[in-house]
Structure 1
Amino acid sequence: MNVPTTDLLLSVRDLKVTYALPKGSLNAVDGASFDVPKGSIVGLVGESGCGKSTAARALTRVIADNAKITGGQAIFGGQDLVGLTDRQMNALRWRDISLVPQSAMNSLDPVCTVEAQLNEVLRKRGGMGRRDARMRSEELFEMVGIERGRLADYPHQFSGGMRQRVAIALALALNPRLVIADEPVTALDVIVQRQILDTLRDLQRELGISILMVTHDISVVAYICDRTVVMYAGQVVEEGAVADVLDRPGHPYAMGLRNAFPDLASAGSGVLTPIRGAPPNLAAPPPGCRFAPRCPFAESRCVDELPGPAAIAPGHIARCHRSGEAQALRHTAGTPETWMAEA
């Protein structure tokens, strides 16, 4: 990505995360590289199981017990997050990097008021006194659109959307520079989804923070993000500005995702075309391009050789042997018949 180093908040290079299994291992993230510029919203998008949540959570080192970062770098503010000790990483969590989880109900303590949970962050992590913590809690609730009088309520007294706002307040408590939002609107209805996304975007602009938005929903990326990173089978296959990736995708997988995105301008005439087949088993991935078994444009070299990233335009890269033919492939990819052959 052609962004000056001084404008980057986070630069991930060749990140690898491996899960230990009863019979071997699985590389859930296998050489992923992407950047998060300062003051931007970057969407990390892909199918379930593509490694996006694992990659994002690895940045905070909040991963499963059987998972381990086995390679790569994640340079954040001049520090490599991968190489930090647990104590050094603990010093960064909440203060510099925070997480908005997918299910706020599962992340909030059901037997404590939300104010008590905010206090735990503000007083224990932030070192605030009782009065300052109370004032900050009220300020945070106002920022996310909740009445300050509800600080004394318990998580079960809030709706799903309100609980997600509480989770956002917790993530912003100590003014972090990077917020990782892991599928923050997946379990919400579409009206509440938009409210939460609007809240995140407004706060990002107001506070000047960066957000890494993890989602399987390309419409979320189109609505809120400045840049997008497309993952498939543990690898980044495309990265660029949202307009470039959605309007001029360079990788067939991104072209397929675009076909599955409804176009309201052509309602009634547009056809949503699925990508047939399923992602490969990451315990034994294919040697070449991992999308080749599902790709209608695959050639023999795609099956045998793993493609490297190629620049399509400034700041826009795709990992495809045929990225130089992207314009012609896009025309063919827009035809449903192209994708109808059995995988």
Structure 2
Amino acid sequence: MTESLLSVRDPLLSVRDLRVSYQVGRNFVHAVDGASFDVPKGSITGLVGESGCGKTTIARALTRVMADNASISGGQILFDGKDLAKIPEREMNALRWRDIAFVPQSAMNSLDPVYTVEYQLGEVLRRRGGLDRRQARARCEELFEMVGIDPGRLTDYPHQFSGGMRQRVAIALALALNPKLIIADEPVTALDVIVQRQILDQLKELQERLGLSVILVTHDISVVAYICDRTVVMYAGKVAESGTMQATLTAPSHPYSMGLRNAFPDLQSAAAGILTPIEGAPPNLANPPAGCRFKQRCPFALDLCGAEPPVIEVAPGHPVLCHRAKESAALRIDAARTETWMASA
């Protein structure tokens, strides 16, 4: 994607043609294959798509905390003037937690069950933040109040908290050193819907109050609609479409985005019992098909989709990876019909 298609005024993070590969035996699986998008300052950007589309791989690549067999094989990750894909590990390590923090899908993955929460928070504040014990204790109390937990529970162990409260602790850990960017990987997936909303409301309130930039990784398009300012739609390792939340959800221009929108129940469709799935599964990235990677599931695929699709800007700051992006207004009408998707199954 070219700079003109992606330009967001004064972005905090700019990902350009990012490629991340996993070595499996003698072969390489390109889990992220040329992804480009911007994250504006002081906003929430949703990274959305099916399981296996490359969302978490991108999230891990941004912090360079990846599996042993994973590597960044190309592209740039520009953060505050630095290319995170290329800076030395020592310099990258200095950025982690202080400038870029990570909230995992399961809070227990970031909490040690044999230490109190205060000890774990305090260790970060003392070792990475340079605070003494008294200052660290005061900051722990401030962080707990910030995420809506009674500071009196600092001496509790992780297993003494509910799932929702553990997720709040994980958010407090991420906020400990006042980072500029928080990457939250499916932070509410394992929670019931009531607690999900509480955590999302808490995250949004903190983002606005502290002026944070947030990347929210999710497969749930309703979460994107509820909390995000911008959307990056991933499919089979590529960015299918990106733009404002309003534009990508109310007027999607890539057929995959249209399919995701159909699969998101609103009051009318729920009342009518209508929920339209996208039949089939994403392609095997060990041997991806030539041309458009969505063509085998797309009801609008043509012969020309056997060639690599171009990036077309359907509106300022709204790039779409599709041969038929300029026809999106007409395609949306057909995409709203369940029979359109059933015919392509």
TM-score per shorter chain, which class?
over 0.9
Deviations 1:256-315 (A, max 9, x none): 000000112554126110001100000000110000010000011102x11121101111
Partner amino acid, structure 2, of 1:334: A
Partner amino acid, structure 2, of 1:321: H
Aligned CA-pair RMSD? 1.0
Partner of 1:104: 107
The partner residue of 2:37 within 28, 34, 39 is 34
Deviations 1:123-145 (A, max 9, x none): 10111111110000000000000
Q: CA deviation at 1:23?
A: 4.4
Q: Cα distance 1:4–1:36, how it changes in 2: closer, same or farther (>3 A)?
A: closer
Partner of 1:63: 66
Partner of 1:338: 340
The partner residue of 1:272 within 270, 275, 278 is 275
Partner of 1:131: 134
The partner residue of 1:176 within 171, 179, 202 is 179
- Give the SS at the match of 2:115: coil
Partner amino acid, structure 2, of 1:106: N
After the TM superposition, which residues 137-152 of structure 1 pair with which residues of structure 2 at under 5 Å, given as runs? 137-152=140-155
The partner residue of 1:311 within 310, 313, 325 is 313
Partner of 1:73: 76
Q: Give yes or no for contact 1:114–1:155 (8 Å, CA) kept in 2.
A: yes
Q: Give yes or no for contact 2:49–2:219 (8 Å, CA) kept in 1.
A: yes
Partner of 2:285: 282
- Distance in 1, matches of 2:103 and 2:267, equals 30
The partner residue of 1:49 within 43, 48, 52 is 52
After the TM superposition, which residues 320-339 of structure 1 pair with which residues of structure 2 at under 5 Å, given as runs? 320-339=322-341
- Distance in 1, matches of 2:271 and 2:8, equals 44
Partner of 1:119: 122
Q: Cα distance 1:267–1:342, how it changes in 2: closer, same or farther (>3 A)?
A: closer
- Distance in 1, matches of 2:6 and 2:60, equals 25
Q: CA deviation at 1:105?
A: 1.2
Deviations 1:56-84 (A, max 9, x none): 11000011111000000010000000011
Identity %: 70
Q: CA deviation at 1:22?
A: 1.8
Matched, 1:15 2:25: no
Partner amino acid, structure 1, of 2:128: R
Partner amino acid, structure 1, of 2:313: A
- Give the SS at the match of 1:59: helix
- Distance in 1, matches of 2:60 and 2:38, equals 15
Partner of 1:217: 220
Aligned residues: 341
Partner of 2:233: 230
Q: Give yes or no for contact 2:23–2:70 (8 Å, CA) kept in 1.
A: yes
Deviations 1:94-130 (A, max 9, x none): 1100000000012210001111110121010111111
- Distance in 2, matches of 1:107 and 1:95, equals 16
- Give the SS at the match of 1:230: strand
Unaligned runs of 5+ in 1: none
- Distance in 2, matches of 1:187 and 1:66, equals 27
Deviations 1:187-210 (A, max 9, x none): 000000000000000000000010
Deviations 1:15-48 (A, max 9, x none): 0000000241100000000110000000000000
Partner amino acid, structure 2, of 1:173: A
Unaligned runs of 5+ in 2: none
Structure 1 length normalisation: TM-score?
Answer: 0.98
Q: CA deviation at 1:4?
A: 4.9
Partner of 1:83: 86
Partner amino acid, structure 2, of 1:201: K
